Amino acid sequence: MTREQSVAVFVGEARWFGGKGRDFEVTDLRDLDLADDVTTTLVTVAYADGGSDLYQVPIASYDAPQDRITHALIGQWDDQWHYDAVHDRESMQAWLRAFAAATEGEPRGAFHRTADHELDLESHSTLFSGEQSNSSLAFGEDSLMKLFRRVTPGRNPDIEILEALTRAGNTHVASLYGYVEAEDLQLAMLQQFLRTASDGWDLALVSARNLFAEGDLHADEVGGDFAGEAHRLGAAVAEVHQVLAEEFPTEELHLADTARVMRDRLTAALDVVPDLAEHRTALVEHIDAVTAISGSHPAQRIHGDLHLGQTLRTSLGWKLVDFEGEPAKELDERRRADSPWRDVAGMLRSFDYAARTVAGDFGATEEEAAQIAYRSEEWVKRNTAAFLDGYVEQRERPLDEEERALITAYVADKAIYEAVYETRNRPTWVGIPLAALTKLAEGTTEYATTTSPTES
């Protein structure tokens, strides 16, 4: 096969390719020299149904086959064997050396440094598996590089926000060490590697499982109670929001536009998830309640795709990761100011997902299933309240009725999005967001705190 044909096959089969199911062709391949001994290839993909995307494929080329990276072979052309370079330690070592050669204010080629940190050049790269839209690899226990696969001109939100939070000294993120930028494209970022961190989603699942395994204990009586962590996580999110409001421009949230976008999303969702129709009227009432708000509410830079899977628990507290926003959205939309309650809603929905996911493994009989459903609801309510407690205590201002209305609307909007996603990708999971939307429509879901912001 030709170079173009080999790359097209490789891209089409890659996990990070966002055009699956669409006919496409590779219309352009362009090599970029990023620094001495460091290159990458930009691949333009044009779709038969219209539109195009730009992908990054760093290529390692050898005169002979490399058995150690056979699994990463892209193809053979021009009498050489060519591999996806993120699997090649020698290629990735060249990227790390280029970062190390750059200093703040003095880039090395396309490599920029944002923090004075001595990189471990003796470390080897280890590629993470399971990523959906990018490729990440660790250099020993020192640093983590994320290589963006689908690239768009302009500042990547992950780099932009992390740089601001690092500069501000915020402790709830992994510090940004540097990034790669060429021709108005931000191609990769290097940051602190939180080696000993525990995944927030996994911790929540363990907590819920511990509760469901105990037949006669309540959520606050089980050794794996998550409420304390949820409280600390709420405070961490609030602190990050505060810093982002200081580091980036803010504006007033346009409530009518916010409600209109949510209604449009609900209308579009009805074609994909017909079961939403029975709740349409009640959900529209929750959404339209936003337009009745008389006060002013801020819009600012936020995480944009916040859930338990975007959090890490370290010995020094919670860290938020992956500020890139929802990958399916265009760059301008991901960088747009929005209400911080969108992030809060994403986390509240994540608590619900954690409990319902574990609950599916319990309850063999009808009576047992009913008991697990009750305990699941108890777990969600307890951790929702704890998270909101931590959030409002950090900002030192209690929730008011208008903010509760905003939270409810954003939670509904998130659950509608989830119902569409699950229907298209994991139909057996669609019951989770549908159950949440049923409770919202019935008015049985309430978002409230249990303490005042002055209590410890």
Local confidence pLDDT in tens for the 456 residues of the chain: 899 999 999 999 999 999 988 999 999 999 999 999 999 999 999 999 999 999 999 999 999 999 999 999 999 999 999 999 999 999 999 999 999 999 988 999 999 999 999 999 999 999 998 777 899 999 999 999 999 999 999 999 999 999 999 999 999 999 999 999 999 999 999 999 998 899 999 999 999 998 888 766 666 766 679 999 999 999 999 999 999 999 999 999 999 999 999 999 999 999 999 999 999 999 999 999 999 998 899 999 999 999 999 999 999 999 999 998 887 788 888 999 999 999 999 999 999 999 999 998 886 678 888 888 888 999 999 999 999 999 999 999 999 999 999 999 999 999 999 999 999 989 999 999 999 999 999 987 778 676 544 343
Give the pLDDT of residue 104: 87
Copy the structure tokens of residue 323.
């500020």
Q: Where are the beta strands (DSSP E) in 223-345?
A: 251-252, 298-299, 311-314, 317-320
Q: Which of 139, 121, 109, 112 is nearest to 36 (CA)?
A: 109
Residue 359 to residue 204: CA distance in whole angstroms: 12
Give the pLDDT of residue 223: 63
Residue 93 to residue 228: CA distance in whole angstroms: 41
Residue 277 to residue 255: CA distance in whole angstroms: 24
Give the pLDDT of residue 453: 40
Give the pLDDT of residue 102: 95
Q: Which residues pair with 326 in a beta bridge?
A: none
Give the pLDDT of residue 328: 73
- What percentage of the chain carries pLDDT values higher than 70? 96
Give the pLDDT of residue 218: 67
Crossing angle for the helix pair 340-359 and 200-213, to the nearest 10 degrees: 40
Listing DSSP states for 148-168 in one string gives ESB--BB--HHHHHHHHHHHT
Residue 70 to residue 81: CA distance in whole angstroms: 10
Instruction: Assign 181 to helix, strand or coil.
Output: strand
Q: Per CATH, is 198-302+337-442 categorized as 3.40.50.300?
A: no
Q: What is the topology classification, in CATH, of domain 89-192?
A: Phosphorylase Kinase; domain 1 (3.30.200)
Neighbours of 146 (CB within 10 A): 22
270 in Cβ contact with 263 (< 8 Å) = no
Residue 239 to residue 390: CA distance in whole angstroms: 10
